[in-house]
């Protein structure tokens, strides 16, 4: 059983999948920082100095200045600013994935189909006999 597990775990597809997951997690952190620290602040500045991560609605309890203060007080909140950041992160990841797949598909153009194999000798002979019989008529 251990040998079967080792063979499974070291199979090329499993190792490739593990590498993909690790790189994907690192890429996710990069995209998260890109959205939170680079993309959203200028957008917030353009629409009036809003920090999207602090956009929330308190469902129960007092009103709070920041989401962190609401969390410390134990207030029940809907954090739609954090949700907006996550949606933008998804859009960036989806676009990056699209561009990578598009680039990879251009690199890996489909090879032209191989030429059809020649007909068998018997078929060629039958065609020749048919053509001779047509000429004799």
CA 79 to CA 81: how far, in whole Å? 6
For the segment 60-91, what is each residue's pLDDT rounded down to a tens digit? 778 888 888 888 888 888 888 888 888 888 88
- Top-confidence residue, 8 or 68: 68
Q: Look at residue 105 in the predicted model and tell me its pLDDT.
A: 80
pLDDT above 80 for 49: no
- Tell me the mean pLDDT in the region 5-25: 79
31 in helix, strand or coil? helix
Q: Look at residue 122 in the predicted model and tell me its pLDDT.
A: 92
CA 48 to CA 93: how far, in whole Å? 27
For the segment 97-137, what is each residue's pLDDT rounded down to a tens digit? 888 888 878 877 777 788 889 889 999 999 999 999 999 87
Which domains does the chain possess?
2-110 (1.10.1200.120)
pTM for this prediction = 0.55
Q: Look at residue 131 in the predicted model and tell me its pLDDT.
A: 92
CA 134 to CA 127: how far, in whole Å? 11
């Amino acid at each position: 059983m251990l040998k079967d597990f080792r063979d499974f775990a070291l199979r090329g597809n499993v190792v490739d999948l593990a590498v993909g997951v690790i790189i994907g997690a690192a890429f996710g952190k990069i995209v998260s920082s890109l959205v939170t620290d680079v993309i959203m602040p200028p957008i917030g500045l353009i629409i009036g100095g809003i920090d999207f991560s602090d956009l929330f609605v308190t469902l129960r309890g007092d009103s709070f200045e920041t989401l962190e203060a609401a969390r410390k007080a134990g207030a029940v909140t809907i954090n739609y600013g954090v949700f907006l950041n996550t949606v933008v992160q998804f859009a960036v990841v989806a676009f990056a994935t699209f561009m990578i797949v598009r680039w990879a598909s251009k690199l890996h153009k489909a090879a032209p189909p191989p030429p059809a194999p020649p007909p068998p000798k018997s078929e060629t002979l039958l065609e020749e006999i048919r053509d001779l019989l047509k000429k004799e008529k």
